[in-house]
Structure 1
Amino acid sequence: MKKVVIIGAGAAGMMAASVAADRGFDVTLLEKQHRVGRKILITGKGRCNITSDCEIEELIENVPKNGKFLYSAFYTFTNTDVIDMFNKLGVKTKTERGKRVFPESDKAHDIANALEKQIKNKKVKIMLNTKVEKIVAKNNKIEKVILSDKKEIKCDSVIVATGGLSYPLTGSTGDGYKFAKELGHTVTDIKPSLIGIEVQEDFVRDLEKLSLRNVSISVLNSKNKKVYDDFGEMEFTKYGLDGPIIKSASCRMKDTTKENYKIVVDLKPALDEEKLDKRVQKDFQKYTNKKFEKALDDLLPQKLIPVILDLSEIPRETLVHQISREQRKNLVNLLKNFTFTVKRYRPIEEAIITSGGIKVSEINASTMESKLVEGLFFAGEVIDVDAYTGGFNLQIAFSTAYLAGENC
């Protein structure tokens, strides 16, 4: 019987194990953590956004890094297949704003438990607290896996599903990159993706934990050229900016040590400058005999008002009816162009995913098999593909793992 070893028991590893087991193979799943699916438990803030209910072409469009490499994977095991799989496993799903698909229960552990139950039912041998030292190939063909305790597992195929470098406490510590390099593969530059961003402006500390909904952002490079824009939710942290639209923006930004980016937040995207000016005038009329610091209560969250007051350069004690037209116009411009200077990404340990990985030109896109070593396969985040938030990265994990399991 063909022996298959899968390294890493996250979403990709468990998916690949299930598919390989369906083919009647002897499947062993190795996980260095004390339980399977640890990273699944923290995805989507513990709710687990499993996929996006969109067209396949839209899935590909949401993978800015090597999206075309995933054509076969996405069309072979689709987002509909993912939803159907979990429904059959007893996990009902729901689709929310932005076509994001979640378990109806809003509990990520329902997803992890379903995947674990599936592989146990299929008699996959699961070895926890088991660290792999090395993958051995002879004459460019997989021969065995050596564990850290020097035990050896002879096998015909190995699927590397070790994740990236983000969230190392879940087991993603870059092991797969090491294995791939030792077997002759190229690993592209690794950087954090879907991550919070540190900014230079000190006033963000005063805005910590403030969340904004229905705002838009534009990311500008050093030439003032727009490289990305988005609309949705964001939040302030003591170091800078975070939240869904900021994390997605981080995917489109390159090395922050080589490029100076600015993030421009439009606090009122539903109103153009003219309409916003009329809205401000209306509020100014209402508070005409009040001090300026009281005039923004209807327009902005309380926590944001002191910062906007300072940046407007209109003295707080100024009575509203004394504010000039030019000052008002400057205020409107500020609300439409609330600008931040990017300092750097947060540490990679905090990233939802890792950008970079095993070079896709060295992997067969139809099978996920290495072009260099027979019987070596890759699945999930260890490959040099990454996507925006919205369930796309888990779809990558499931689809690439399905191909690896089908072809190992």
Structure 2
Amino acid sequence: MKEVIIVGAGAAGLMAAGTCIERGLKVLMFDKNQRPGRKLRITGKGRCNVTNNCTPQEVIAAANGGRFLYSALTSFTPGDAMAFFEGLGVPLKTERGRRVFPQSDRAADIADALVRYSRGAELCRETVKKVLVEEGRAVGVKTDRGYYKAKNVLLACGGASYPATGSDGSGYRLSEELGHILVPISPSLVPLVERGGICQRLMGLSLRNVGVRVTAAGRRKPVYEDFGELLFTHFGLSGPTILSASAHMRPMSAGAYTVHIDLKPALDEGQLDARILRDLEEKKNRQFINSLDRLLPQKLIPVIVERSGVPGETRCNSVTRGQRKSLLAVLKDFTVEIESFRPIDEAIVTAGGVSLKEVDPKTMGSKLIEGLYFAGEMLDVDAPTGGYNLQIAFATGRLAGLSMGE
């Protein structure tokens, strides 16, 4: 009999396995994939944003359900995570937003380091169908091939995003069958579907260094503000700022949220008006629609002109102050109404999961079933982009690994 069975060989599961091996425990892991860490190998567009070079308190403040993570994050901090991977031979670097990446820009280096760390755990490529429970205690699992006994069971199966990597939501079903409450899952860090057809007209256009603000119907304060890159797609909006914004857009419903884009955040209204005046003066005999090529990408110009209400054929020397003011308003507040999220299988992470009320934050152990543990995306915890979600996976996996077998 093994001391520990771990279901899922992703970021949290591999960290837990290595921690158990360090403690001298015998570990059996189950995963459907041919290679462990499959989702980890494609995260961050194949670069892997390992963690964020910040304090545990900043991760807690950024995360939904962050207070639950206090013990996990203070026992395995972002600094600890950085030292851990560098100790395994993976040099790291910190980029904008304190995002931490391997110097090689290869996510595979992080996954391979975790596989090396968990060496000694026995890996079975079988599908777990059921967690076995006797007298209120987890005692093993049933797979598609047989029964396996252990003194502790960790569910680190991932969420419901990227199902092709094995992160297909099956862990949630196992948890519900054991009597755990499941907070309804939804996509997080996911592209947005627009109401209307503006984005489709701008499909493929990527904007850098723009301001992004999200407002919600009935709320005075924005629910999210950022600065960075976004992408117009055939369905709506994507890109780093939009993915981060989506984590704050809950509950989602058609028309509940509006994305406001400041196309020229480096210029205040007075500076931008002066810039527009100079361009109009230089091209005073041209049509208005042909005067904005220095200010905007070509693909965006017809849409901006249309929204400004200034007839495109107007001569630049005839543009009125009021018309300039209309153009200015569009440039500083280009709005996109949001219809919905894209499907959950396009999300980077899954919001929702096993209720935190039923998990001991000091051990990651179930409050309902002795010997049962949870880690990573199985839990009802998620955070914006920036390395926070992987840090949570590593920290909760580490804490579960330290707690099992006690």
* Corresponding position of 1:167: 162
2:123 aligned to which of 103, 122, 126: 126
Amino-acid identity (%):
48
Secondary structure class of the residue paired with 1:156: strand
Q: Distance in 1 between matches of 2:267 and 2:371?
A: 57
Moved more, 249-258 or 393-402: 249-258
List aligned pairs for 1:332-347, cutoff 5 A.
332-347=328-343
Q: Distance in 1 between matches of 2:108 and 2:286?
A: 53
* Corresponding position of 1:69: 68
Deviation by residue 1:220-254 (Cα, 9 ceiling, x = unmatched):
11125322211111111110001111111111111
Q: Distance in 1 between matches of 2:289 and 2:109?
A: 48
Deviation by residue 1:295-320 (Cα, 9 ceiling, x = unmatched):
11111122211211222222222111
Tell me, yes or no, if structure 1 residue 349 matches structure 2 residue 345: yes
Tell me, yes or no, if structure 1 residue 364 matches structure 2 residue 360: yes
Deviation by residue 1:87-141 (Cα, 9 ceiling, x = unmatched):
1111111000110000000011111111112222xx111112x100000111111
Tell me, yes or no, if structure 1 residue 91 matches structure 2 residue 87: no
Q: Distance in 2 between matches of 1:34 and 1:167?
A: 16
Structure 1 gaps of 5+ residues are: none
Secondary structure class of the residue paired with 1:201: coil
Q: Distance in 1 between matches of 2:210 and 2:264?
A: 6
Deviation by residue 1:159-216 (Cα, 9 ceiling, x = unmatched):
1000111010011111111111111110001100000000013121121121111111
| Conserved? CA contact 2:263–2:331, under 8 Å | yes
Alpha-carbon RMSD across the aligned residues, in angstroms, is 1.2
* Corresponding position of 1:399: 395
* Corresponding position of 1:102: 101
Corresponding residue pairs, total: 403
Secondary structure class of the residue paired with 1:215: strand
Tell me, yes or no, if structure 1 residue 330 matches structure 2 residue 326: yes
* Corresponding position of 1:112: 111
Structure 2 gaps of 5+ residues are: none
2:187 aligned to which of 171, 183, 192: 192
Cα separation, partners in 2 of 1:259 and 1:405, compared to 1, 3 Å: farther
Tell me, yes or no, if structure 1 residue 305 matches structure 2 residue 304: no
Secondary structure class of the residue paired with 1:114: helix
* Corresponding position of 1:291: 287
* Corresponding position of 1:81: 80
Q: What amino acid is aligned across from residue 50 of structure 1 in structure 2?
A: V
What is the TM-score of this pair, normalised by structure 2? 0.97
Deviation, 1:329, is 0.4
Q: Distance in 2 between matches of 1:112 and 1:293?
A: 51
Cα separation, partners in 2 of 1:2 and 1:146, compared to 1, 3 Å: closer
Deviation, 1:256, is 2.4
Q: What amino acid is aligned across from residue 62 of structure 2 in structure 1?
A: N
Moved more, 226-235 or 5-14: 226-235
Deviation by residue 1:343-372 (Cα, 9 ceiling, x = unmatched):
110000000000000001110101100011
Q: What amino acid is aligned across from residue 248 of structure 1 in structure 2?
A: S
2:149 aligned to which of 148, 151, 154: 154
Q: Distance in 2 between matches of 1:242 and 1:336?
A: 20
Q: What amino acid is aligned across from residue 335 of structure 2 in structure 1?
A: T
Q: Distance in 1 between matches of 2:373 and 2:20?
A: 12
Moved more, 134-143 or 252-261: 252-261
1:381 aligned to which of 362, 377, 380: 377
Q: What amino acid is aligned across from residue 29 of structure 1 in structure 2?
A: M
Q: Distance in 1 between matches of 2:99 and 2:224?
A: 21
Q: Distance in 1 between matches of 2:271 and 2:355?
A: 49
Q: Distance in 2 between matches of 1:362 and 1:138?
A: 19
